[in-house]
Amino acid sequence: MVPICMLTLFLLATQLHWSFTHGSSDQVRKAYIVYLGEAPRLRSNAVVHQHNLLSSVIKDESIARQARIHSYTKSFNAFAANLLPDEVQKLKENKNVVSVFPSRVRKLHTTRSWDYLKMPLSVKRNLKIESNIIVGVLDTGVYMGAPSFNDKGLGPPPSKWKGRCQVVGNFTGCNNKVIGATFYNNDPNSPQRNPSPLDDDGHGSHTSSTIAGATVAGASLYGLGKGTARGGVPSARIAMYKVCWARGCSDIDLLAGLDDAIDDGIDVISISIGGAGNGFFDDPIAIGAFHAMKKGILTACSAGNSGPYVYTVQNAAPWIMTVGASSLDMEFRTPIKLGNGKENAGFSINTFAPNKKLYPITSAAIAASSTISPNVSPWGCNVGLLDRKKVNGKIVVCKEAANETYIKSLGGIGVLISLIEKTDTSFTATMPEAYIDSSFENTTLTYVNSTKAPQAVIYQSKRIPNAAAPFVASFSSRGPNTQTSAILKPDIVAPGIDILAAYSKLVSLTGDPDDNRFDVYNIISGTSMACPHVAAAAAYVKSFHPDWSSSAIKSALMTTATEMKVKDGLAELAYGAGQIDPTSALQPGLIYDSSTLDYIRFLCNEGYTGTILNLFTEDNTTCSSVPKFGGYDSLNYPTLYYQYDDPNSTISAIYYRTVTNVGFRNSIYKATVTAPKNLTVTVVPNKLSFTQLHQKKSFKVTIKAPPQFLQTFQYTHRSASLEWSDGRHRVKSPILISLSAPR
């Protein structure tokens, strides 16, 4: 009922269509991506090889040439082409091809937030290295007119930077804060006129400034959320890869942006875009993130906004940091007062301050048009249902939904919308508006029904403490993971509700054409807003530990995360390891590291064939040549997850893990397990003694439970935990047991 999707991205079912007007064939060519694995050593060879491959399935040379859309050769080997079904089939059968998948179009899925995460302005920083960190953001572009993108105090771009800045159209150029800005407009189905890296959506400016926006005092949205706006790493540099347009984000462009980003010398990638695909190699984000991981670059992605339902988490490959959205400890609420003095705090971001004490109020039922048929309910306040004379100059009470444009067109001056479901998120409206719960709806309607000239007022929103924090946003996508039942996802949560950050003045605050408010800041919500917090936290950790692998940084953030409150019983399926705590992540004590070989071992365990791996890694690795790994999940992951189908089966699994000492040279870590009754968790050895830094120690975790273990609980999940501690560091891993839900 709440318009969460407005500013957030998810998969559009539409696939790209493009037909040649060539020949008599009535078959339609569609855009596909053909993925060939590891980046070629010689680019020119790769292009010839790609062309030969295409010519082997399209015999007519001129059609083959025309069918080519884009070639990817910098960071991986792939091409995009318009193909017929039988050509797709032939390419899939070719042993040099890893995968062939249709190009889809995806949709896009803050000052207080960094203080809340215990990173005040004065937090210790490694400025020299931080200013050498480049964060790549794949999004809608950047609006350089926002003060967050000023480059005061920053030197020239780090010497490792190889990327570009495309100064075209109305995009005025880069600076020492936004050092790169490129756009990708290769989708033949909907080419953009006058393309440039300029952000005419707001989303890309918001996410990138959350990561590395400059410190700007006195930022607010029309006085709301006033404070100092800044990114998590305000000295780091931004490289914007504009892959999203009004139509969405095409896989063809997304992959092109990643091909460049990985090669440009960036340190961290942030992608707040919906994921797709059931496998790991039919999804450009998973493909790009894998090649990024091999180069030591961590990719953070949004988990999606399809919560609170299970099996909705996206971007769930194990080499991705999958990020859900949590609350801040403050929230925006909109005070409402009725003529009889009764008050309530509704949900909305209302920038409009009233200039009268009280205004007339009515309900949809009372203001219903006399021309609507008696079996139509006017409560939703939709077009045609209300009577102009009864609405003009009044606040209207509507149920579950309201069309503000329509109410405004009738002269309505405000709207109260009652919700059946509880909400935890506020949205910007184009008129004075607030969501109310059913109890205050009753209070309001009782008053309106029984009063001759009822009155009310909706005040400007206020920020108030949120005692329930930290909790997971109801819209945040939940596990289980549909791509592999071996890994818990999401990995972590970060603030994604009511985040104030930079915006674009080329779009109104709500995106609504009849909204005439334009600002360089906006307050928005979504896992899109959570992901850049984690990308920034990763950059922050990297600025102190430049030599850590992407898996090590991920482990540091996960094992030091803050435990969350269990609100809906889904627990770790909603928040993974918990909420990020960036400063604790600087000193994790131990890390769970993974090499490329570990991920390959994982893929073998998941049933990916030797041939595919051979291409994928270009070093002739096959599953038979990879040392076997007996564990349940085969990956050295910082969380432990067990999923099963038959409630009557016995639970029994062994996990092998290896930790690396990054704390004190001489240290002894002891294991502490907490587990519910009937679940036995044993750790062998339960004491690890280190005598050196970077020393590795392995241990084995066995979990056992009798049949019907989960039958005895209300929920189909149950959590336990493992914590290693040397008395100074706490290295925490959740253990989640989950019974597959019938789907």
Give the number of other Cβ atoms within 10 Å of residue 392's Cβ.
13
Give the nearer residue to ligand NAG in terms of CB position, either 159 or 194. 194
Find the binder of ligand NAG among 18, 359, 406, 664 (CB under 6 A).
Answer: 406
Distance separating alpha carbons of residues 323 and 310, to the nearest angstrom? 15
Region of 2-10, 387-395, 405-413, 629-637 interacting with ligand NAG (CB under 6 A): 405-413
Find the binder of ligand NAG among 121, 389, 646, 694 (CB under 6 A).
Answer: 646
Distance separating alpha carbons of residues 240 and 412, to the nearest angstrom? 42
Find the binder of ligand NAG among 647, 654, 670, 725 (CB under 6 A).
Answer: 647
| CB-count burial class (<10 Å; 0-12, 13-18, 19+) for 166 | middle
Q: Which of these, 248, 232, 249, lies nearest to 288 by C-alpha position? A: 249
Q: Which residues share a beta bridge with 697?
A: 659
Give the nearer residue to ligand NAG in terms of CB position, either 121 or 383. 383
Q: Which residues contact 314 (CB under 8 A, 6 or more apart)?
A: 10, 11, 109, 274, 275, 276, 301, 302, 303, 304, 306, 322, 477
Q: Look-up: residue for tokens 């926006």?
A: 213
Provide the token pair at 687.
């004491």
Q: Out of 528, 543, 719, 733, which one is annotated catalytic?
A: 528
Region of 55-63, 411-419, 442-450, 563-571 interacting with ligand NAG (CB under 6 A): 442-450
Provide the token pair at 281.
């190699």
Please report the DSSP string for 40-87 in residue order. PSSHHHHHHHHHHHHHTT--SHHHHHHHEEEEE-SSEEEEEEEE-HHH
When asked if residue 674 is in the footprint of ligand NAG (CB under 6 A), the reply is no
> Three-state SS for 142?
strand
When asked if residue 365 is in the footprint of ligand NAG (CB under 6 A), the reply is yes
> Three-state SS for 13?
strand
When asked if residue 167 is in the footprint of ligand NAG (CB under 6 A), the reply is no
**Residue 17 falls in the annotated catalytic set:** no
When asked if residue 173 is in the footprint of ligand NAG (CB under 6 A), the reply is no
Give the nearer residue to ligand NAG in terms of CB position, either 169 or 223. 169
Find the farthest-apart pair of alpha carbons in the chain and give their distance in angstroms, rounded: 84
Torsion angle in degrees (nearest 10) through CA of 29, 31, 37, 43: 90
Phi, psi of 180 (to 5 degrees): -140, 145
Query: For residue 627, is the peptide bond before it cis, meaning its omega torsion is within 30 degrees of 0?
Result: no
Give the nearer residue to ligand NAG in terms of CB position, either 169 or 393. 169
Distance separating alpha carbons of residues 633 and 627, to the nearest angstrom? 15
When asked if residue 405 is in the footprint of ligand NAG (CB under 6 A), the reply is yes
When asked if residue 706 is in the footprint of ligand NAG (CB under 6 A), the reply is yes
Find the binder of ligand NAG among 403, 482, 611, 740 (CB under 6 A).
Answer: 403
Distance separating alpha carbons of residues 141 and 181, to the nearest angstrom? 7
User: Cα 505 vs. chain centroid, distance in angstroms?
Assistant: 24
Q: Which of residues 368-397 bind ligand NAG (CB under 6 A)?
A: 382-383
Q: Residue 165 CB, nearest distance to ligand NAG (Å)?
A: 17
Q: What would the x/- binding string for ligand NAG be over residues 175 to 194, using CB under 6 A?
A: -------------------x
Give the nearer residue to ligand NAG in terms of CB position, either 96 or 678. 678
Distance separating alpha carbons of residues 468 and 476, to the nearest angstrom? 16
Buried b (16+ CB within 10 A) or exposed e, 187-197: bbbeeeeebbb
When asked if residue 409 is in the footprint of ligand NAG (CB under 6 A), the reply is yes
Give the nearer residue to ligand NAG in terms of CB position, either 89 or 620. 620
Give the nearer residue to ligand NAG in terms of CB position, either 279 or 676. 676
Q: Residue 416 CB, nearest distance to ligand NAG (Å)?
A: 13
Q: Which residues share a beta bridge with 139?
A: 242
Query: Site for ligand NAG (CB under 6 A): how many residues?
Result: 24
When asked if residue 165 is in the footprint of ligand NAG (CB under 6 A), the reply is no
Find the binder of ligand NAG among 355, 648, 691, 714 (CB under 6 A).
Answer: 648
Region of 103-111, 221-229, 641-649, 664-672 interacting with ligand NAG (CB under 6 A): 641-649
Provide the token pair at 147.
């003060």
Q: Out of 70, 203, 291, 533, which one is annotated catalytic?
A: 203
When asked if residue 451 is in the footprint of ligand NAG (CB under 6 A), the reply is no
Q: What would the x/- binding string for ligand NAG be over residues 612 to 631, using CB under 6 A?
A: -------xx-----------
Find the binder of ligand NAG among 442, 609, 666, 689 (CB under 6 A).
Answer: 442
When asked if residue 445 is in the footprint of ligand NAG (CB under 6 A), the reply is yes
When asked if residue 683 is in the footprint of ligand NAG (CB under 6 A), the reply is no
Q: Which of these, 203, 573, 493, lies nearest to 327 by C-alpha position? A: 493
Give the nearer residue to ligand NAG in terms of CB position, either 300 or 737. 737
Q: Look-up: residue for tokens 């959740």?
A: 734
Provide the token pair at 658.
């290896």
**Residue 439 falls in the annotated catalytic set:** no
Give the nearer residue to ligand NAG in terms of CB position, either 89 or 625. 625
Phi, psi of 342 (to 5 degrees): -70, 140
**Residue 203 falls in the annotated catalytic set:** yes
Q: Which residues contact 385 (CB under 8 A, 6 or more apart)?
A: 364, 368, 369, 372, 376, 378
Q: Which of residues 209-238 bind ligand NAG (CB under 6 A)?
A: none
CA distances from 400 to 496, 526, 574, 625 (A): 23, 20, 26, 59
Give the nearer residue to ligand NAG in terms of CB position, either 37 or 275. 37
Region of 404-412, 563-571, 605-613, 689-697 interacting with ligand NAG (CB under 6 A): 404-412
Region of 54-62, 444-452, 460-468, 548-556 interacting with ligand NAG (CB under 6 A): 444-452
Region of 28-36, 175-183, 440-448, 667-675 interacting with ligand NAG (CB under 6 A): 440-448
Q: What would the x/- binding string for ligand NAG be over residues 120 to 159, using CB under 6 A?
A: ----------------------------------------
Q: Residue 114 CB, nearest distance to ligand NAG (Å)?
A: 33
Positions touching ligand NAG (CB under 6 A) are 169-170, 194, 365-366, 382-383, 403, 405-406, 409, 442, 445-446, 449, 619-620, 646-648, 677-678, 706, 712
Residues with a catalytic annotation lie at 139, 203, 528
